[in-house]
Structure formats: C-alpha cells, structure tokens
Copies of this chain bind each other. A is one copy, B any other.
C-alpha cells in the first residue's frame, strides 16, 4: 500500500517544492502557492512574505520543512485568508486599518492599542492594508508570539532574552 501521504492532494505540491530532502526556498514556495491557486484573484505573495512563511515553519533553523509543517502552513494561511475575505466583501484586495485591528483582536492576541497602532503603521500602504501585507503581518505575529511563548515556560507573560537568542528569534522573520 502507498504511504498515506500519497492520497493527499497536498502531497504533490509538497514534493514539487521540497523534493526528497525537504529543502525549501522562498522562490519555490511562492511558485507553489501561486500554482496551487491559493492567492486566487489576489496578487501572488511577494518573495518577502514567502520568506517569513518559511521562517515560521523552520523552527530549528535548518531550512527544511516536513510535510506536516507544510500542511500546517496551508491551514494557517487559509484561516487568515478567510478572515481577510470576510472584510474584503467587494474583493478589492484591501481592507481598512481598523478591520486589521479587529482581525488581530479576534485571533486572540492581547496587544495594546500602542502596539496595534505600530503594526498598522508598518503594514499599511497609503492608509489601506493589502492582502500580501495582511498575510505577512499574520505570519510574523504568529511566529514572534510562538517564539515568545516557547520561552515563557511559566506562562507569566514575560521572557528574559539573552542578546543572541533575541537576535536569533527576530532577525529571521
């Protein structure tokens, strides 16, 4: 019998970009997400956004991605995309800054108005939030939050970082 993965429609996409060794690069991921029709009528993801996606999954900094992580990525991206489309009723490819704030709050992040404001300042273009930037923001926020929580073993909401570890978990994102 074939391995379970062979029946999974995602398997083809995965092997196409990851090959046998599971090595993944941002250009291949960009091509894959475009060919899989993920971005649909929206503009394809920028290379920059794809790099952050890879950083999200590559927790051990090997540059490799397994099939399960690949499926996790798709699942997470699909959720964020659905969220975006809920706000983008007219399919303009953009949402309003306050809608992005709402979305971030709805995802369960506890972020102060000041930090939310800084995020929106960073991810808007001329006062609107484009699909690619919205997704980049979601990927980055989740990755940074995961990195923080993994170190906050007592769940106290605070983490003591050594400089090198701080750089390691922020520079790749």
Report A's interface with B, CB cutoff 8 A.
25-27, 46-48, 51, 55, 58, 61, 63, 109-112, 114-115, 117-119, 121-122, 125-126, 137, 140-141, 144-145, 148, 152, 157-164, 166-168, 170-173
Contact = CB atoms under 8 A, between A and B. Distances in A.
B119 A171 contact: yes
Contacts of A51: 122
Interface of A is mostly: helix
Contacts of A167: 109, 111, 115, 119, 141, 144-145, 148
B110 A171 contact: no
B61 A141 contact: no
A27 B152 CA distance: 38
A172 B126 CA distance: 16
A159 B158 CA distance: 10
A141 B171 contact: yes
Contacts of A122: 51, 55, 171-173
30 contacts: A25-B126, A27-B125, A27-B126, A51-B122, A55-B122, A58-B121, A61-B114, A61-B121, A110-B163, A115-B164, A115-B168, A115-B171, A118-B168, A137-B171, A140-B171, A141-B167, A141-B171, A144-B166, A144-B170, A145-B167, A148-B161, A148-B163, A157-B162, A157-B163, A158-B161, A158-B162, A158-B163, A160-B160, A161-B161, A170-B170
